[in-house]
Copies of this chain bind each other. A is one copy, B any other.
Amino acid sequence: MRSAQKQKLSDSLSHQLATCGFRFTPQRQHVYSVLLGKLDHPTAEEVFIRAKRELPDISMATVYNCLDALVKCGLARQVSLARGATRFCPNMKNHCHFYCDTCESVFDVNLPAEPGIALPEGFKAAHYDIAIHGRCPACANGGK
């Protein structure tokens, strides 16, 4: 990534954090860059392992804190697809997730528009989470 681009990213991160009353810290910056570095829906544990390469002293608690801050300020989504660890996704475009029940991989699937589901009186929707379960191409073939 070019340095100017990196600068831009950290400006927007800093701004988004500030908007929600969070401080900008090296840990948060790095956790965000780890998320952006590989869009494979890592768990907190996986983010922790990746973050450690550059910040060897970062702790698990901090990774959770950073991820939560990113989610709260709208720079990442938390993805709960099955029992087991929650995953994180920095793709904030309108999309949903395909979860392969066989290999447990997650794929982003573009959504043309928000679903538009009629809610009963009084419910206030903040966001939609659509998950499609099934088999990915590799598992649909291989696994018979």
**Closest beta carbon of chain B to A79's beta carbon, Å:** 9
Min CB–CB distance A115 → chain B (angstroms): 6
Q: Is the CB of A119 within 8 A of B109?
A: yes
- Please give me the residue from chain B that is nearest to A121 by CB atom: B137
- Give A86-121 interface residues, CB cut-off 8 Å to B: 86, 96, 98, 101, 107, 109, 111, 115, 117, 119-121
Is A81 at the interface (CB under 8 A from chain B)? yes
Query: Which of chain B's residues have a CB closer than 8 A to the CB of A125?
Result: 98, 132-134
Q: Do B123 and A128 touch (CB < 8 A)?
A: no
Q: Which residues of B contact A101 (CB under 8 A)?
A: 126
Smallest CB–CB gap between A135 and chain B, Å? Answer: 5
Q: Report the minimum CB–CB distance from A54 to chain B (whole Å).
A: 26
With beta carbons under 8 angstroms apart, the residue of B115, B122, B129, B134 that contacts A133 is: B129
Known: A126-B133, A132-B125, A135-B123. A109 touches B98 (CB 8 A): no
Across-interface contacts of A36 in B (CB, < 8 A): none
- Cβ of A111 and Cβ of B117 under 8 Å apart? yes
Q: Are B126 and A117 in contact, CB atoms less than 8 angstroms apart? A: no
Residues of A near any B CB (own CB < 8 A): 78, 80-83, 86, 96, 98, 101, 107, 109, 111, 115, 117, 119-137, 140-141
